[in-house]
Structure 1
Amino acid sequence: MNRLLMLFYCMTSCLIPCLAQEKVPSAVLQQLLRKERPDTAELRMLFSAGVSYINRPGIEPGDIDTASMCAAKLLKYAVNTGHKLWEGKSNLLYSKIFREQHDVVKGKEYILKAEAIFKEQQQKESLADTYVELCDYYQPVDVESLNMKLKYYREAAVLYGESGLKLKQADALYRLGDYYSFLPDYNESKKVLLQALAIFKEVHVEELQGIYNLLGAIYNQLGDSDNALKYVLLSLKTAQAVGDSSTQLCTIYNRLGMIYIRVDDIPKAMQSFQRAREIALRLKDTAAMQILARNIGQAYQKMNKPADALKILKEEERNYPPKSQENRILMFESILNAYCLQGDFKRGAVYAQQLEDLRRTMYPDDAYLEYVYTALVNYYLGIHQFNTAHQYAQVMLAVASKSGNLSFRAKSCSFLYRADSALANYKEALDYYRMYKLANDSLFNIAKMQKIGYLQVQFETEQKDQALMLKERNIELLTQEAQAARFTRNVIIGGAGMLIALLLLGYNRYQLKLSSNRQLKQQQDEINRKNQSLQELISSQNKLLGEKEWLVKEIHHRVKNNLQIVMSLLNTQAAFLDDKDALNAIRESRYRMQAISLIHQKLYQSDNVALIDMSTYINELVVFLKDGFSDVNRIKFDLQIAPVKLDVSQSVPVGLILNEAITNAIKYAFTGNGTIIVSLQPTGNDVLTLVIADNGKGFPDGEIPTQKDSMGMMLMHTLAEQLDGCLDIKSCSGVTITVRFKYQEKETIDKPVQLEENVADYM
């Protein structure tokens, strides 16, 4: 049962200090990957980006590829410059990549290289990070692997402490304390977790519900119900204070319920389990619901209600059938125990057989054999197969003696006593009974002390509540007596006071009138002064706004003129070139600059220097592109543009995408007559969809060119990313390019505006 509690905690709890990696924008990352000699800050960004892609949920090929490019860039820099630190960092990143791909051999090879480099360079923080990564190569399935995890976490915690990295040190101690409970070594786990808690408080971490919850579990295993209840209640209070409604809150309520079961407070345990189950249902956490169903079933069995236990367990099995072997063992064991308690061994036979099948596939030191043997021995005793029950109970006793689990030992001796008694082995039965009584008496004393501690806490709480109520009642009586005395005194004083008040009232009213007049005059003077200052500020502001608008228009004008100069220079250069490809490149560059130039022209000619009227802009851009090609009269243009206004950050990418798509359609789409449709319409909440479609011949063989095939394709993909949108290209009866992106300006869009020529029966 101890191992189950720890496994459930590890599945559902989140580590407090989530050491998140800084997110690097994809455009910046591409520039860093292309840069020949990145500086130290850029190398850190590359490493951080690689780790962040590895830490994303799931295993996506794109994430792995990006992380691999970052690692390769770091390794190339390290080889070219001889910088050992970045060679170690690249090996650490490669280890994470291969481990994520489940290639343990290669991953371990790289992490050991990183460890050697960081030791040689005396890089304590990086070496500690390496030890934390090494821990992930050892799963806590046996003592040897668990000891390796403990060793590396201990070394990481020491190195973080020597480096002054308190948050990382506390996180390493937190994990170390968690895995000590797997041995189980609860005293050492408690010691380490209390150290971690002190450091978390020192660095002012607020979300401490996870470590409080784990401490409550450890104290519960140590038999200290007072501290167990204290820390789990602290965990619940902290979770509610920080607004935690995640799976961790479900874990806290589950832990609270198990503590209440330990002290035989079944109603409170059921209340806690039900709250945990509500959260698990809301979050659709199947694993948590399965464990909670088992715990609720055990509570019903403690109340001798096997029918209620079977109802919830069977419902859980039907709605959320267990997938993993561990969950299947726990589910089948709980159902079989409930059938045995009910005396329905016929229906329990199916689950007994499934547990037998699972037992044959398990290792001898598997912790879950405890549940398998307990349920099977209980079943075989019920159906009078005493030899089989005796054999399994002896295995249980051997495991209990090895682990020192007193409760498991008492249960094993009880089974052996019952089996030997049924087999007429009275001497052995008497020996096992004595062993059972010895273990059970020890358990009883422990449980008694726990119950006494729990009752003492309840008694002290009730005493405090009663003292508080008595104190409040005394205060209320004293208050009433004081009010009566004050009333009598006030009546006497009131009579004399009334006379004095009447004499002073007239004088007081006169003084109040004078004071009121003086205050009104001062207030009026202050209002006049503030009005004058406000008028001056408004005048100054209007002047500054006018100057700002003029300056912005002047900037747009000059940008437009500079672009026109560049276009003229390109035209001049083209006159001296004979190479066809060079001339095409110059002409395409001139079209792109004209697309940007039109935007700045619209801005300085418009009263609104921030937004571009896309319907007018796209119309003029299409006219310009038509004028730039010969024999373009055979192509009709159908413009369906909504009255949208975009700022420069969005209108420039849109214009360039239009330029690339329309230019390519004019040049390559048609062998004869054809139509190009340009549409910009709202689709959904704050989303605009840009479509450029033609009914030409489409791409050869229907294959869409990649970004590597042409600069135009790469440019359109990059511009779509700049818009935070998505680009879709289809080739069917022509080419259709679709770009969807968020619309930033919040203006009403009535209906599409039809411009230029309309084409009927298109497509």
Structure 2
Amino acid sequence: MRKCFHNNILLMLVLFQFSLLLYPIMAHCEQSKTDSLRLVLQMAPNDTVSIESSMLLGLEWESINFDSSMFYYNRALKFSEKSHRLDEKARVFINMGFLHRYSLDSELAMEYLLQALQIYLDTDNKKGQLDTYYNLGEFNSHFEHFSQSIEYYNLAIGLGIELNNQERLGMVYNNLGLIYNYIGDYDKANQFQFEALKIKEKINDNTIQLTQVNIGLNYLEQKNYEEALEHYHIALNMFNENNEKAYIAQTYKNIGDVYVEINDIKEAKNYYQQAFTIYKELNDQVAISNYYMLMGNIFRKQGLIENAKISYKEALDGFPENGSHRSLFFIYSNIADLELSLSQTTKSDKDNKLKRAIGYGIKMKQIAENLGSVVLLNRSHELLFKAYKASNDQSKALEFAELYMVSRDSLYSMQKQKAIINIQTKYETEKRDLEIELLNSDNKLMSTRLSQSIDQRDNQQTVIFLLILGFISVCIFIFVIYRFYLQTKQVNSKLILQHDIISKQQEEKEVLLKEIHHRVKNNLQLVSSLLNLQTQNIEDESIISAIADGQSRIEAMVLIHQKLYQGANVSSIDFEEYALQLLNQISGLYPELKEVEKKIVASNIELDIDTSVPVGLILSELITNAFKYSFANKTGSIAIALTKDEHDFKLVVHDSGPGLPKDFDPSTTSSIGLHLVRRLSRQLYGTSRYEYDNGSKFIVTFMDTIGRRRKE
């Protein structure tokens, strides 16, 4: 990493730029950042400001124009040489190195960094040497020069230990782990990743979760899926704590990859879907396309070819123009492989399938050549060879067979080089471990001799120290216990006071609710009395009957509110008690039917107030209908049953009467009572129905308040 600006230099630039604002000609002008920096450079009062402003201009132009960036870096180099500022000169070389790295010029990038390193060696700047060794390791890794990269990282480790620079050591160990992962030495990769993890935990580094992800990748390659999932989930929890959505999505995707490997498709889809949701939120089109590609692979694995085709098409259609060419390569590869496979397993449309496979294979080859990747080129040549062979184009098949063999040989050479790197690294590591062991042996011998000479003095001092420490510890322990006792006593006093306040408020609330229910009951009874008075001047029996029905319904609600204010619980009623009282109340209106047998089955079921009122009205209607029409012989029976399944209830009212006429349809009847039953049951998210079973049998289902709220 580059640290291009020191705080004192930045402060000088800020003060100098502020002084420029005093010029009248600048008062009303709006200039770009580069224009402002040019002006600072032109009016620079000393070489320090000239160097820093030139460096800033070089940085600004890095992503815009290579030549312009180099122009300003060269100016900074001249100013540093003129003022004999060697550290500034080294910084300029480092920035030039990064610029050439971005332009993929590996030789010049390395050359500039080596010039910076030589300056730091000449001036004995250990911190500069450490940072430059790290950058050289990172550059060589970027250009896949792994042997040189490991060499520079080992030099960085030595200086990092000498300077006790834990942050840089954590970064070096992490990068070494990534290199060993790439070359296939996963045990070595985990060794360095765990070393990085230990350091990052110690210094509370904010990139610790990335190391957890890298460890997960190593275990995935080793097919140690349980360990991979464990480290992915640790990283996921950390990313969630910091709300790092891009990393959260990538970790979901990595976990999905593990489940694909263990053939748990359901879990894989679940994690891919969670990643996809975040990709859409972030509008990450490349990641969205990769999601569709992964889903296509899953569908293909399940044999759902049409679904696979649709997913691959979505992946390709949604891929952005400026997306990663490597990601696009794998989308083409999966589609081409599917078309080639289908051409061999299905006879229909074989020629078109092969043409499409060849078309995607050619696109794969173009991307691989642009990226300069032997691995991808080898894959492209293999697919094109198979596709042309299947289409009986022997000349093209031979051409790509030769290319495939050439690229495979190149790939084999690379793998052989990786194996050599492994052997060389193992030798260097063992050599360094042996040197450390010898050094430790010498140190141990010297320490033993020194310790023998001071053992007696240390023993005396230790005894005195332990006595003093013991006395202090006892005093501290007594003080802590006493303080804890006082705090506990104070907390308990507050809790008791708060409990008393809450209890008093609860009692007041219950008294108030009972008073409200009492008043509602009185008001309903008043309404019933007014209706009773109204019937005294009415002679029409149908009107009197209708008013009596209304009074019966009001009395059903009166009974509910009476139960609420008389009972211990002001928010619910016992259904069995309420139904018995309501049944007795309605049967009392028909003294001639006192022989009718009454039965209620509903033990330990309570209904909340919002449910009990409509249920009470339903029950009142059904009981009243039974007593009106079912007992012509003055005898019979009526049974009420209520059952409960969590928040779902079933009410059955069954009498022994003759039942309704066969052509009777409760859904079209003009009866107010049955119409009311249907309306109230729907209000309670339930149903009502009638059936004949040795008498009329009405079945009403409904939900309590909690069930209705959940359904909403």
Normalized against structure 2, the TM-score is what? 0.47
Larger Rg: 2
TM-score (structure 1 length as normaliser): 0.44
Higher RCO structure, 1 or 2 (CA under 8 Å, sep 6+): 1
